Amino acid sequence: MNVKTDTQNLYFERINKVILFINNHLGDNLDVESLAQVGNYSSFHFHRIMRAHLGESLGAYIIRRRLEASLNLLRYSILPITDVAFKVGYENPASFNKAFKKRYQVTPVEFRKNYNSLIISEDSKIKFNAMENLKSLKPKIKVRKSQKVIFVQAIGAYNESAGKAWDRVCECAKEKRLFGFSTEFIGISHDDPKVTEASKLRYDACIVVSKEVKPEGELGVQELQGGKYAVFTHKGPYEKFTNSYDYIFGKWLNENEIELRDAPSFEKYLNTPGKVKPEKLLTEIWVPIK
């Protein structure tokens, strides 16, 4: 491996470390000096490096991630708005309300009220669309242990970026001989395409590993949280995931008064594109619940 490749690998390792830290600590004080230390960067260059990678300033990224996280809490939890504000890193509800309205043109109270009304009015449509792709509208409840995964993150429209991330993570897994008979392939679609603009959508292509693996370049390592999950099976092309997710998060959660855990949902791919027709693809959607 040459010096240039070593430098590029270190660059990606540091950026991955910073982004994972931000995503896992949205409620904390995320000052530039501390984040620079997480990635072992000089604070003098840190802003420019992160802007070049993220396509926006570090401050804008943190604000966007906090407000997008608040949308999910307002939609899928019963937390009071004051608690939502604190949970996503705002010191008081007033500053949260101001930032939220600036970005979404409505207050958090108005958003929660209007979203609930919208779900009721679109109830039949959501259920009809879900029946096209979900094998059952009733999930299986499963408990899984925490597992380590290697991953490559891609940023951009899911249908364009995910394939590139999978090519890279599979290449790394092959080089390190990490594939096994029952290897699990996991996708984490961090953002809602209806909320986040396509160019900023984040997708992690993950492979569950049992060996000790260290981050290397674009290849990151993270823990897939264990615990209780509701597991739905989506049948059909990945482009139709929206139908299934709309039902799960827009109807099933509300009807069953389910509370979500503070962990990402993920997709477990049961067969492989190219080996079966798109309509025969099977994907489990794992939703973390309390």
What is the pLDDT at residue 126? 54
What is the pLDDT at residue 3? 43
Domains of the chain: residue spans and CATH: 3-119 (1.10.10.60), 140-288 (3.20.80.10)
What is the pLDDT at residue 67? 93
Beta bridge partners of 229: 142, 288
What is the pLDDT at residue 130? 64
Q: Which of 2-6, 196-200, 276-280 shows the lowest per-residue confidence on average (mean pLDDT)?
A: 2-6
**30-47 mean pLDDT:** 83
pLDDT tens track for 94-143: 999 999 999 888 899 988 887 765 544 444 455 556 667 888 889 999 99
Higher pLDDT, 108 or 43: 108
**58-68 mean pLDDT:** 92
Long-range contacts of 115-122 (CB under 8 A, 24+ apart): 115/74, 115/75, 116/254, 119/250, 119/251, 119/254, 122/250
pTM of the model: 0.73
**271-284 mean pLDDT:** 92
Burial (CB < 10 A; 0-12, 13-18, 19+), residue 36, is buried
What is the pLDDT at residue 22? 93
What is the pLDDT at residue 6? 55
Query: What is the Cα–Cα distance from 206 to 153, expressed in whole angstroms?
Result: 9
pLDDT at residue 220 above 70? yes
Output DSSP code: residue 248: I
What is the pLDDT at residue 269? 97
Could you give phi then psi for residue 202, rounded to 5 degrees? -110, 130
What is the pLDDT at residue 227? 96
pLDDT at residue 30 above 80? yes
pLDDT tens track for 247-261: 888 778 877 878 888
Query: What is the Cα–Cα distance from 154 to 53, expressed in whole angstroms?
Result: 11
pLDDT tens track for 163-204: 999 999 999 999 999 988 889 999 999 988 877 888 999 999
